[in-house]
Structure 1
């Protein structure tokens, strides 16, 4: 994750319009960007507020997941994501019932670690009721929920209310690469254009065209601890300054207003539905 890029974009964030302020125009992340990046549809019912959902009883836990977190795993009505990964990531012979339980656990983990990420490795137990009946397509608009939570995290980061960015901020990086290809890494494999997160995952990047966070990693590791801290701080500051400079002098011709139409992503079966409907 390129934190220098995210910090530079957070400084350009405008909370009143939910857009990034660029020299030539405003740029925002939309439900369509979320769909193309993660495949989350936005033509579903709204997600209920957590406060409107019931706190699950012990019977609810046993019925839906077959077990309940210990008291040490709870913080109020929230519980540790580690509990989910520790208990439901093991490979065991799967029946239909076991597969359904693991699917519920995976969706809960996705809610806490990605869609509604708060930076504290916890997820609300109230969300358990939303995975009681798993259907496809999903009945809830998790696209909008993710985007609203991401907006809130950018607002707090821009106003210095929070020192860390909450929400699934990997989406910001992927959207930035799609819209600013001259600042994006070079890709190794272009055979998975949808969802875009699969295209831009870390192992598919051969090199960064500029401002690589790992450019001097091997040399830094050889330094003594105190010197390493100083060098890393200087590099982070230099990378942030470089991205701020690049955004301040970005040209309209360098910005792709419709990045998905210029690649074979528009030809993928699931993406066609959105293009035909829009």
Structure 2
């Protein structure tokens, strides 16, 4: 099914060309599938891949130095983040916020902005998790939809050998929308 969808993807229009016409994953689908709210603040920012940035952000969000990927210093191991949630006591408000941030970081790296490696999540999401009260005000559905479109555009190129698409979103959308 995924191959069939990718073959029908048109990067120029960000739509799937089907026998019945053009269809696309829309913001309303994001609301329906993931429960993400529409019309919030734009998810934007800059990415710093320096080691100092990574350590500073990780200490602020997770409370300890990160276990990074051996192939890229811009990725944090999801198992390390899950270990934090499993071992930290939830006895203070700060520890509860840390626990929630860890879960959100895992959700961002493995579901909403998934790539072919679900073992790591990119550090670019860390600054978005710093202000705990702001996390729910971001337009995550727009960012996730943009990520899906970019992934499908990349995957539909003739020279692409591996699919790097958020599969959960695409499969649920196809299940819901295609008869």
Say yes or no: TM over 0.5: yes
CA distance in 1 between counterparts of 2:60 and 2:169 reads 34
User: Is 1:106 aligned with 2:103?
Assistant: yes
Indicate conservation of the 8 Å contact 1:56/1:126, yes or no: no
Give the TM-score of the pair, scaled to structure 2: 0.84
Q: What is the total number of aligned residue pairs between the two structures?
A: 177
Instruction: Work out which of the residue numbers 31, 56, 70 in structure 2 matches 1:35.
Output: 31
User: Is 1:163 aligned with 2:161?
Assistant: yes
CA distance in 2 between counterparts of 1:178 and 1:70 reads 38
| Compared CA separation, residues 126 and 56, structure 1 to 2 (3 A) | farther
- Higher Cα Rg: structure 1 or 2? 1
| Compared CA separation, residues 51 and 148, structure 1 to 2 (3 A) | same
Q: Quote how far apart the aligned CAs of 1:59 are.
A: 4.3
| Compared CA separation, residues 132 and 28, structure 1 to 2 (3 A) | same
User: Is 1:86 aligned with 2:65?
Assistant: no
Residue 173 of structure 2 is matched in structure 1 by 175
Q: Quote how far apart the aligned CAs of 1:105 are.
A: 0.9
CA distance in 1 between counterparts of 2:145 and 2:173 reads 13
Q: 1:1-278, aligned counterparts within 5 Å? A: 5-51=1-47, 56=53, 58-70=55-67, 75-90=72-87, 92-120=89-117, 121-135=119-133, 138-181=136-179
Query: Unpaired segments of 5 or more residues in structure 1?
Result: 182-278
| Compared CA separation, residues 51 and 97, structure 1 to 2 (3 A) | closer
Offset from partner CA, 1:90-133 (integer Å, 9 cap, x none)? 47444322111011111111111122222133222232111112
CA distance in 1 between counterparts of 2:69 and 2:17 reads 44
Give the TM-score of the pair, scaled to structure 1: 0.57
